């Protein structure tokens, strides 16, 4: 999927990211699968079917969090990975609630390991930046977990660019450096193109962006009137998502993506995921779903030949965010 995009821009060819690997040296797959729905909208059987579909497609990177479905997500994932653990890259997150103090990090992570039935995880994310806790306390705790062999890589989620750089500097004291960042990114949420993605390319940090389908908007399911039951998904059910994706131009972009997909005989979701992955070789979008049927278009992104011309066509469907400078005459 990415072969034709590595030389698209100077930014992408300058990336020095070292690929993340599993315990047995397997390089992380081009897509990751997020298990937020496990134990919630997807029961154990549906979760297992999606896991099997991901493995059949070659996905080795699976993402969960302490907070997902009150821990059921981690429990289900832990059962599914038992027979092939060493060939997989397993990530979880802590400190979305309760703060990023050492005590809370350890408490939640210990619980996560028990749920996963694992002594260690490959990636442990700070789920969000905590302005009320000294970042050095958080990083010292995470460094101690790494030294104990309980984590392999440090991840940061929902951090701004300046917050990541602060973590890089503070982490030098503990010889600990962020290996991967998890921001929001899709065709209708492109703010990370301004500073976060260039920063990651410059600093050699892998990127696992979430919501490449824009909360489902880019699948096309919100293009029609609501179903008779009143809900087509999270944008109808969750006020936060309704606000996040409520701007009219986002719906227009989704409709234009559907039109392009019809022209190519490709699902809009496939185009959306392939486009997000094509930003650079260090970008691994996290796909997710409630069922195998819903998952298939995202997996089909792996088969799209995302040429430079196609990338430009898709990019043109949504507004590019303003640059991080007012010296517009210096922008290409």
**Residue 118, in any domain of the structure:** yes
**Residue 117, in any domain of the structure:** yes
| pLDDT at residue 321 is higher than 50 | yes
Q: What is the predicted pLDDT for the residue at 244?
A: 75
How much is the average pLDDT of 43-61?
98
Count of domains for the chain? 1
More confident residue, 8 or 152: 152
> C-alpha distances in angstroms, 109 versus 125, 150, 218?
10, 9, 34
SS3 for 35-97 is CCCECCCECHHHHHHHHHHHHHCCCCEEECCCCHHHHHHHHHHHHHCHHHHHHCEEEEEECCC
Q: Of 3-7, 88-92, 185-189, where does mean pLDDT reach its minimum?
A: 3-7
Q: What is the predicted pLDDT for the residue at 239?
A: 74
Residue 144 structural domain? 10-214+268-308
pLDDT one-digit tens code per residue, 96-149: 999 999 999 999 999 999 999 999 999 999 999 999 999 999 999 999 999 999
pTM: 0.91
More confident residue, 244 or 298: 298
pLDDT one-digit tens code per residue, 262-307: 999 999 999 999 999 999 999 999 999 999 999 999 999 999 999 9
CATH number of the domain that residue 29 is part of: 3.20.20.100
**Residue 35, in any domain of the structure:** yes
**Residue 156, in any domain of the structure:** yes
| pLDDT at residue 9 is higher than 50 | no
> Which contacts of 113-118 are long-range, i.e. CB under 8 A and separated by 24 or more positions?
113/150, 115/71, 115/74, 115/75, 115/78, 116/64, 116/74, 116/75, 116/77, 116/78, 116/81, 116/90, 116/92, 117/78, 117/79, 117/82, 118/78, 118/85, 118/90
**Residue 219, in any domain of the structure:** no
How much is the average pLDDT of 211-237?
73
**Residue 234, in any domain of the structure:** no
More confident residue, 98 or 241: 98
**Residue 241, in any domain of the structure:** no
Q: What is the predicted pLDDT for the residue at 84?
A: 97
């Amino acid at each position: 999927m990415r072969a034709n995009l590595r030389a698209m821009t100077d930014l992408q060819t300058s990336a020095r990211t070292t690929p993340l690997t599993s315990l047995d040296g397997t390089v992380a797959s081009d897509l990751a699968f997020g298990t937020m729905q496990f134990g919630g909208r997807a029961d154990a059987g549906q979760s297992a079917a999606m896991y099997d579909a991901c493995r059949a497609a070659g996905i080795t990177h699976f993402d969960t969090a302490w907070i997902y479905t009150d821990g059921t997500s981690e429990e289900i994932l832990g059962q599914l990975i038992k027979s092939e653990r060493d060939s997989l890259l397993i990530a979880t997150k802590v400190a979305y609630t309760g703060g990023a103090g050492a005590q809370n990090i350890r408490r939640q992570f210990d619980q996560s390991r028990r749920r996963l039935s694992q002594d260690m995880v490959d990636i442990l994310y700070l789920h969000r930046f905590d302005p009320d806790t000294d970042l050095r306390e958080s990083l010292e705790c995470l460094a101690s977990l790494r030294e104990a062999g309980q984590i392999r890589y440090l991840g940061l989620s929902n951090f701004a660019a300046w917050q990541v750089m602060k973590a890089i500097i503070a982490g030098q004291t503990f010889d600990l450096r962020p290996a991967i960042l998890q921001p929001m990114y899709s065709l209708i949420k492109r703010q990370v193109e301004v500073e976060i993605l260039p920063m990651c390319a410059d600093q050699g940090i892998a990127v696992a962006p979430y919501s490449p389908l824009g909360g489902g908007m880019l699948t096309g399911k919100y293009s029609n009137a609501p179903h008779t039951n009143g809900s087509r998904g999270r944008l109808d059910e969750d006020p936060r998502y309704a606000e996040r994706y409520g701007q009219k131009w986002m719906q227009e972009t989704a409709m234009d993506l559907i039109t392009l997909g019809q022209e190519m005989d490709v699902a809009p979701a496939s185009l959306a995921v392939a486009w997000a992955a094509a930003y650079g070789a260090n970008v691994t979008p996290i796909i997710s779903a409630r069922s195998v049927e819903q998952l298939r278009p995202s997996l089909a992104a792996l088969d799209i030949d995302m040429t430079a011309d196609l990338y430009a066509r898709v990019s043109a469907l949504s507004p590019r965010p303003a640059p991080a400078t007012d010296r517009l005459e210096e922008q290409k």
